[in-house]
Structure 1
Amino acid sequence: MAESPDLASVYHLKLKDAYDTTDKLKDPDALKESEEQLVQLLGEVELQLNETYYLVGDEFSMADVMLIPLLALIELLGLEVDYIVSIPKIAEYWLLVKQRPSYKALI
């Protein structure tokens, strides 16, 4: 912070966000609400994938780019059986995405 005092306030805001997130993880009501939001989002994704190859059509788009980190985090946390594998179109989509050269290069 001594080298970049102008960044100190930004650093402190990020630190506060991290502490707030940690507090939310200890709150059962916040966890339940987050899980409900996740289930709702995945339900909407599943419906869309019944209509299109990717999220907004037959070509990979920024919408897919935004969803991939969420699915990767679900897998990283070991929750893929509940939130990916058990949802047929999302499971199919996730396998398709992981075969993309760009995904393989990144991961």
Structure 2
Amino acid sequence: MAESPELASAYHRKLKDAYETEELLGNPEVLKRSKEHLVRLLDEVETKLKETAYLAGEEFSMADVMLIPVLARLVLLKLEDEYISSRPNIAEYWVVMPPVQL
């Protein structure tokens, strides 16, 4: 911080946000809403992937770039069976995606 004092306030804001996020994660209602949101998102993705090879059509796009980290995080958290494997179109999509370094 001594080397870049102009970054100190940004750092402290990020640290404050991290603490607030940690507090929210301890709230069962917040977790419930987050899980419901994730399930809705993945259900929409599953439906879309019935129609097209990728999220926005027949070519890889920024929509796919945004989804891959979500799926990778689920794998990292060992939630693949619950959220990916249980959805056949997402499971197939995940297999053909370029490998992600976890």
Short-chain TM bin:
over 0.9
Fraction of identical pairs, as percent? 61
**Matched residue, 2:69:** 69
**Are positions 1:60 and 2:26 aligned together?**
no
Q: Which amino acid aligns with 1:30?
A: V
Query: Deviation above 4 Å: which 4+ runs of structure 1?
Result: none
Q: Which amino acid aligns with 2:53?
A: Y
Gaps of 5+ in 1: none
Query: What CA deviation, in whole Å up to 9, does each residue of 1:51-103 have, x standing for no partner?
Result: 10000111111110000000000000000100000011011100111xx3xx3
Number of matched pairs: 101
Query: What CA deviation, in whole Å up to 9, does each residue of 1:26-64 have, x standing for no partner?
Result: 100000000000000001101110110000111111110
CA RMSD of aligned residues (A): 0.9
Gaps of 5+ in 2: none
Query: What CA deviation, in whole Å up to 9, does each residue of 1:6-35 have, x standing for no partner?
Result: 101110111011111111111000000000
Counterpart Cα distance in 2 of 1:86 and 1:59 = 24
Give the TM-score normalised by the residue count of structure 2.
0.95
